[in-house]
Amino acid sequence: MDNFQKVALVTGGSRGIGEAIVKRLASDGFIVYGTYNSSPEKAEAIAESLRSDGKQVHFKKMDISSDESIRAGIEEIVAESGRIDVLVNNAGITKDTLLMRMTEQDWDDVLNTNLKGAFLCCKAVARPMMSQRAGRIINISSIVGLRGNAGQVNYSSSKAGMIGLTKSLAQELASRNILVNCIAPGYIETDMTDKLNDDQRKAFADKIPLKRAAKPEEVANVVSFFANADSTYVTGQVIAVDGGLAM
């Protein structure tokens, strides 16, 4: 049994899927650091609520598209906690529109945050994890990275890229006992989907074999599996949490 408390970093941890992951890993006993780029009040409210329940949760402002911001943030976490055991690359943005209307800036912004940001975070945690000879990297892709989606060529490309990043890094880092896996969520109940009307929700659900959206906690459950001891012989895998949509 390990005689230290493990440390997890969840990017984009202040809302939606990221918030659910922060809460689940904190419940699993991790010291959890979440990142945010705006809305510090929301991040601090989550941390305070979890700390009042005895959990060790902290939030740091981090620009996931900036190498300097990422390196400084991760160096700070390692200095404070002495280690980093789990990285969850969850932060992401969308700038949806059809290809003919999509600007180069729309493409660059989404790829820089979603894919380049994941690459930079992986690079920043690789050295401390290699020194520990142990670590877990969990990339949150999307079902559209597997099957595409009209109006999302930038987002779909960034999420497909995360799958290639996962499989290549899994091969590079396996000799140091660093496991790299990927989750591809489908239609998830979030603040964004709350804005849909009943007909729109039904149209989405009708395409899904399980006939419903997932809760963010159902994605967090799979993150927990990858982060904990039950997955010690699993690396380079992509698990779709999509109710069967991509079958």
| CATH number, domain with residue 128 | 3.40.50.720
pLDDT tens profile 135-165: 999 999 999 999 999 999 999 999 999 999 9
Q: Which residues contact 135 (CB under 8 A, 6 or more apart)?
A: 84, 85, 86, 87, 125, 128, 129, 173, 176, 177, 178, 179
Within a domain: 1: no
- 2 domain residue, yes or no: no
Q: Which two tokens stand for residue 243?
A: 């109710």
Residue-wise DSSP of 141-193: --THHHH--TT-HHHHHHHHHHHHHHHHHHHHHGGGTEEEEEEEE-SB--TTG
Tell me which H or E stretch contains 31.
strand 31-36
3-state secondary structure (DSSP) of residue 101? helix
**Domain membership flag for residue 247:** no
- This prediction has a pTM of 0.95
Structural element, H or E, at residue 122: helix 117-132
CB 20 within 8 A of CB 220: yes
Instruction: Report how far apart the first and last C-alpha atoms of the chain are (Å, whole number).
Output: 39
3-state secondary structure of 133: coil
Residues whose CB is less than 8 angstroms from the CB of residue 38 and which lie 6 or more positions away in sequence, other chains included: none
Q: How many distinct structural domains can be found in the chain? A: 1
Q: Is residue 116 part of a domain?
A: yes
In a domain, 246, yes or no: no
Confidence of residue 34 (pLDDT cuts 50, 70, 90): very high
Q: How far apart are CA 139 and CA 159, in angstroms?
A: 9
Show the CA angle centred on residue 221, arms to residues 147 and 159, nearest 5°. Answer: 25
pLDDT in tens, 163-182: 999 999 999 999 999 999 99
For residue 41, give its domain range: 7-241
pLDDT tens per residue across span 77-132: 999 999 999 999 999 999 999 999 999 999 999 999 999 999 999 999 999 999 99
Does residue 96 fall inside a structural domain?
Answer: yes
pLDDT range class, residue 229, cuts 50, 70, 90: very high
- The helix-helix angle for 117-132 and 67-81 (nearest 10°) equals 30
Q: What pLDDT does 1 receive?
A: 37
| pLDDT for position 202 | 87
Return the residue matching tokens 């230290």.
Answer: 4
Query: Which residues form the catalytic set?
Result: 155
Residue 85 lies in a domain: yes
